[in-house]
Structure 1
Amino acid sequence: MNDMPILLIDDEPMLLKASKLLLTSRGYSNVFTINDSTKVMSYLEGNKAAVVVLDLFMPNLSGLDLLPQLVSEYPEMAVIVMTATDETDTAVECMKKGAFYFLVKPVEPERLIATIRRALEQSMMSYELSTLRDQFFDDKILNPEAFTSIVTNSSKMHTLFKYMGVIAPSRQPVLICGETGVGKELFAKALHNLSGFKGNFVAVNVAGLDDTVFADTLFGHRKGAFTGAEQAREGLIAKASSGTLFLDEIGDLNDQSQIKLLRLLQEREFYAVGSDNPSTTNARVLLATNHDLQKLVADGRFRKDLYYRLYAHRLLIPPLRERADDLSLLLEHFLDVAAREFDRKKPTAPPELVTLLENYKFPGNVRELEALVYDAVARHDSGILSMESFIIAIGASRTLHAHSSEQAQSGESRLDSLFGHFPTLAEVEEYMISEALQRSKGNQGIAANLLGISRQTLNKRLRSDQGE
């Protein structure tokens, strides 16, 4: 956001010079000035401005007359009006004509900086809304090459890709939510690639870091800041300058670290350990969590002000169980990658393997599928890929998941709603076998795995039901 263009318009050259110096000292790199109000509209025909700071009383063409032209021609541009006249009627008139804010000279430097920052945020939001409207009616994904590492054919994922294309140029933080193993870091890297930022992508997992280690890792330290700090060291935020800093597992941060993170996001400032002087950054911060932050806020474990600061842009990555169409794509992709890594011919997956996978919930999501495929390829000799390692792993995972999950409602109420009465064992067995065969598309091996019994036992039950 610090590189968005800012245009200062005033007939006092010394004031323009001082204001530009103030803004550039705070990290705003594209600040331009005009001291002749009659040249503003022609300037904007060939140059962009996200925010305009406009003096109200100027010769030839007053700011009061220029303001409605700016608002009409460039509605996405935020116009801040400055004047030496502290008159309520004038302020009201300017706001009615579309001014973003009204400041009375002399303006305190911090107030000017804060107002410009808010105006830049609004300008960016206006741009994103406009782009989102255009994208909503367009099936095309902007810069699809940025998503080559994410294997999918899911409409949900493609909708996310479109949204990412819109918010990518913004310097606002983005919160990436999703279960363990859905690929949150891949999405963060895609956002960085889409952004066009020239700096590095720097990732760090902050889970388990106490406040001192968190501050030292991110912000660095000064020489002598603590025992053993014999030399000054830059933090990861400095390495991400003009690029992207990705913080994973932010739901595990303690309160003091959350305060430091809030200042970084809100003021774009931080303190190196042992320093009393703040430093600024132009790095874009992406954050990820597999926690329900809203629940953490309600439990008093996550700051409410930080939560709402993160809420501007949010990506919710769907779990693999909601992307059934992607299973065959991901299976082939991981078979190909694993075969290359093990330096062997890519094995052929049996058709019934996809059916088995479709009936599994994948609590570990894409990462779990990748691990299953790698293990199967490592065990593979030749011919058709064996399903044995998949069946064993999925069976063990189901048992673990069943013991660890809390039941949402009592067994009696579920059975009553399903059968209309408390069923007999024979009724339950018949229903379970029928459902398993339906889900497995008639494959008795997969059905037996779903039921947790051997294929021979299933065959015996089926023969018994048929009166053999």
Structure 2
Amino acid sequence: MTHSGLYPKFPVLLVDDEVEWLESFSFTLEYQAGITHVMTCSQSHEVMALLKEQPFSLVILDMTMPPPTGEQLLPLITAEYPDVPVVVLSGLNQLDTAVNCMKLGATDYYTKTTEISHLMTGLKRILTEQDLRRELQTLKSGLLSYGLNHPDVFEEIVTRSPMMISVFKYLEAVACSCEPILIVGESGSGKELIAKAVHRLSCPDAPWVAVNVAGLDDTAFSDTLFGHVRGAFTGADKPREGMIAKAAGGVLFLDEIGDLSLQSQVKLLRLLQEKEYFALGSDAPRQVEARIICATNCDLAGKQQSGAFRKDLYYRLCSHQVVLPPLRERSEDLPLLLTHFLEQAADQLNKEVPTYPPQLPVLLSTYHFPGNIRELRGMVYDALSQHRQGILSMDVFRQAIAIDESDKNAPTSCPITGRVMFPEQLPTLDEVAGQLVDEAMKRSQGNQSIASKLLGISQPALSRRLKKSSESCA
């Protein structure tokens, strides 16, 4: 999808000396295949100059023209622009001509009497393959280079995490693709921000439409996405434009995709595969002209194995998949996010931005954050709303963490998933206790108050252990 909503990103060049045919075939490409980015050329001697001026996705070349003929142009194009596929579309149905064209480098050969659906399918296949080749090339060069090509696109996402930078590079590589993107991440990890970054990368001036599909039954899902015509059902007094139509040329973001009913999953699969849909009450197909991005916090692989999510839809959505790391795996981002949310909250609450104690990021790094960035934001806003003067108190954060960790269903920051493995010769209790204390002090960056909470003992008890350890080493 280009900034103007044209497909493909680079134009398809039609070469034929019949101007009326060029106009007619351009119309056919748009309404039969959704190919809207077309350039025509009726003067064959201009073709090589056009190819030199700008990149093209595909050249569709007629054979019988005044010199240079298509047969003369074909080897020139394939020699100078080997990455541009050339499809020969001739009025002659001659086997020897077709074989010769393929030898000269043509990607495919059709006659103008070929059934239109067969021709359109072939052209769409070639364009898809071209997109994938270009995308792979971009991905390789992007992941091997340092830095981002469009860092401004990701300004709303506060991070310095290498894992997030890798996600950004991947998004830059796949932004030009027309395939759907699946964003997977825990609740509150920033999936919609990632989807908006794709929108800014691929079509910033085009529409952005977001739909949360959780809780939508099949009828509501169909009506919301596809719209309806007048009289489609009782109460449909006037037509309604669906969200797909509203997102034309831009991005349609479907959140909570893992909660879709099986009936709705079938309709979404058809939408992605056929690139067309039907408004409720209509039998006229409409072309999909929006980039579709889906997001979920569900384990779709697990759901498809249990039968709750269609396997074919799962594999279709996995063309481009982004897995967002949870906040607990991005501890280096905590100081940045704290500062960001404090400034944001101070602006909304009309307060000065306070200084926070240096131990606060350390305390937060020991917490598992089941609600991720959204939960941290709530903590910061709550703390600042209660703040009066001086350094920001850590009490609100301590209380929030203590309340959550008192929940028996809440996971710990480091869950024990099995029995601890011991060496053949068991360590003594003092040795094990010493290692636990060392690890707690390491995680708390030397803060005894935080380390004692990690160990489940009082701070004086920890101080005594540390003092005893230092004396024994003296």
TM over 0.5: yes
2:31 maps to a residue whose letter is: S
1:264 maps to a residue whose letter is: L
Distance 2:381 2:458 in 1: 25
Range that drifts further, 376-385 or 241-250: 376-385
Displacement of 1:461: 5.7
Distance 2:162 2:63 in 1: 50
Cα RMSD (Å): 2.9
Distance 1:269 1:408 in 2: 49
Matched, 1:274 2:278: no
Contact kept? 1:169, 1:196, Cα under 8 Å: no
What's the TM-score once normalised by structure 1's chain length?
A: 0.88
CA-to-aligned-CA distance 1:85-144 (integer Å, 9 cap, x gap): 556665555445443333344122222222222222222223333333443454342232
Matched, 1:155 2:159: no
Matched, 1:10 2:16: yes
Alignment equivalent of 1:410, drawn from 410, 414, 418: 418
Look up the SS of the partner of 1:441 in the other structure.
coil
Contact kept? 2:59, 2:86, Cα under 8 Å: yes
Distance 2:190 2:243 in 1: 22
Distance 1:197 1:403 in 2: 40
Displacement of 1:149: 0.6
Range that drifts further, 86-95 or 110-119: 86-95
Residue 168 (structure 1) aligns with: 175
Look up the SS of the partner of 1:32 in the other structure.
strand
Residue 342 (structure 1) aligns with: 349
Range that drifts further, 226-235 or 394-403: 394-403
Distance 1:160 1:19 in 2: 40
1:116 maps to a residue whose letter is: L
Contact kept? 1:198, 1:242, Cα under 8 Å: no
Alignment equivalent of 1:443, drawn from 447, 452, 456: 447
2:450 maps to a residue whose letter is: I
Displacement of 1:15: 3.7
Residue 388 (structure 1) aligns with: 395
- Quickly say closer, same or farther: Cα 1:284–1:439, change in 2 above 3 A: same
Look up the SS of the partner of 2:292 in the other structure.
strand
Q: Which has the higher contact order (CA 8 A, sep 6+)?
A: 2
Range that drifts further, 370-379 or 159-168: 159-168
1:175 maps to a residue whose letter is: L
Contact kept? 2:14, 2:61, Cα under 8 Å: yes
Alignment equivalent of 1:256, drawn from 263, 274, 294: 263
Distance 1:430 1:227 in 2: 74
Displacement of 1:241: 1.7
CA-to-aligned-CA distance 1:164-205 (integer Å, 9 cap, x gap): 233334333222222222111111111111223432211111
**1:66-465 superposed matches below 5 A:** 66-84=73-91, 91=98, 94-95=101-102, 97-400=104-407, 409-411=417-419, 414=420, 416-417=421-422, 420=424, 428-459=432-463
Look up the SS of the partner of 1:400 in the other structure.
coil
Q: What are the ranges of 5 or more consecutive residues in structure 2 without an aligned counterpart?
A: none
2:23 maps to a residue whose letter is: K
Contact kept? 2:131, 2:177, Cα under 8 Å: yes
Displacement of 1:423: 6.3
Range that drifts further, 393-402 or 346-355: 393-402
Contact kept? 1:197, 1:242, Cα under 8 Å: no
Question: How many residues matched?
Answer: 464
Q: What are the ranges of 5 or more consecutive residues in structure 1 without an aligned counterpart?
A: none
Distance 2:231 2:457 in 1: 65
What's the TM-score once normalised by structure 2's chain length?
A: 0.87
- Quickly say closer, same or farther: Cα 1:32–1:438, change in 2 above 3 A: closer
